[in-house]
Amino acid sequence: MAISDSGRMPSASALFASNWFGYLARTILTFMFWGSGLSKLIDFPGGVAEMAHFGLQPAALFNVAVIITQLGGSALIILNRHAWIGAGALAVFTLLTIPIAHGFWAMEEPMKTIEFYVVVEHLSIIGAMMLVAWKCR
């Protein structure tokens, strides 16, 4: 961070008001989504296999839908254009992954506890998406 002409560090409010900070924050917040979407796009057969693993058929169609949701929702948030739509789509997507891929209630230990914490993290991400929808409306 650059020191101002007065020799002092910029204030936190100046940092939070800067455009680059907003882009950086929204890019980092959505990393898990656009990273996953790009992975499923680059390795399409691997994404299809992942969908099939979780019983989603037709797997190729589900893979395309996930790619569109993850990349499209991320782009809307990062660009701050209709970010509330992107945040809502990613929140619903994240909520749906819980019963599909993280059913800790039907698992044995130690996977039960590990998946429970994944679900808790998913709920935190849903909360973050709710905050984005609220603040970027």
Tell me what percent of the chain is helix, strand and coil, each rounded to the nearest 5.
Answer: 75, 0, 25
Cα–Cα distance, 73 to 65 (Å, whole number): 12
In a domain, 6, yes or no: no
Cα–Cα distance, 72 to 39 (Å, whole number): 14
Domain count, the chain: 1
pLDDT in tens, 108-125: 999 999 999 999 999 999
pLDDT in tens, 23-55: 999 999 999 999 999 999 999 999 999 999 999
- For residue 28, CA distances in Å to 21, 35, 125, 135 come to 11, 10, 12, 17
Categorize the per-residue pLDDT at 4 as very low, low, confident or very high, splitting at 50, 70 and 90: low
Q: Which domain holds residue 43?
A: 20-135
In a domain, 8, yes or no: no
pLDDT in tens, 6-28: 667 778 888 888 899 999 999 99
In a domain, 13, yes or no: no
Percent of all residues in the chain with a pLDDT value above 90, rounded to a whole number: 85
Tokens of 63: 């893979």
